[in-house]
Amino acid sequence: MIEWYKKVVFENYANFNGRARREEFWFYNLAGLIISIVLMIIDQVSGLTFGVAKTGILGLVYGLAIFLPGLAVSVRRLHDINKSGWFSFIVLIPLIGVIWLLILFCKEGDQSRNDYGNDPKNIFDEMDEIGKE
């Protein structure tokens, strides 16, 4: 799980190209949720909160830091099922949009090459392309 998180945050910080497997997407989100909960607890215990809603400073800084990699992995996840990253705006449709996007994120990716690249599950795709122009 941590390997996926490091891959998304450090190696692909703002990479909107290519495809992301379900495993990469969901492990990144799970690790981010766990880190957010820990930071929220630290904020509450240490009193590092502000405003009426008692927003935590550490949680806010962390949220801002991972916004771009989270958006990038979401776009790459949509690419894996051959959908444009712009398709993520479907969440703007009340209730139905969120459910629809969640279903798309759970859907298995294309088994072969699509408009956005090779299948990330198939490690032999590059070898198949050798000698082809």
Answer yes or no: is 89 within a domain. Answer: yes
Burial class of residue 16 in the structure, from the number of CB atoms within 10 Å of its CB (0-12 exposed, 13-18 middle, 19+ buried): middle
Answer yes or no: is 37 within a domain. Answer: yes
Query: What pLDDT, in 10s, does the model give residues 14-26?
Result: 889 989 889 989 9
Q: Quick check: 27 pLDDT over 60?
A: yes
Answer yes or no: is 133 within a domain. Answer: no
- pTM summary value: 0.81
Task: Note down the domain range covering 96.
Answer: 2-128
Answer yes or no: is 91 within a domain. Answer: yes
In contact, 105 and 6? CB cutoff 8 Å? no
Answer yes or no: is 108 within a domain. Answer: yes
In contact, 20 and 105? CB cutoff 8 Å? no
Nearest partner of 69 among 21, 116, 22, 16, judged by Cα: 16
Predicted confidence band of residue 78 (pLDDT cuts 50, 70, 90): very high
What is the count of structural domains for the chain? 1
Query: What pLDDT, in 10s, does the model give residues 29-64?
Result: 999 999 999 998 898 888 877 776 677 888 889 999
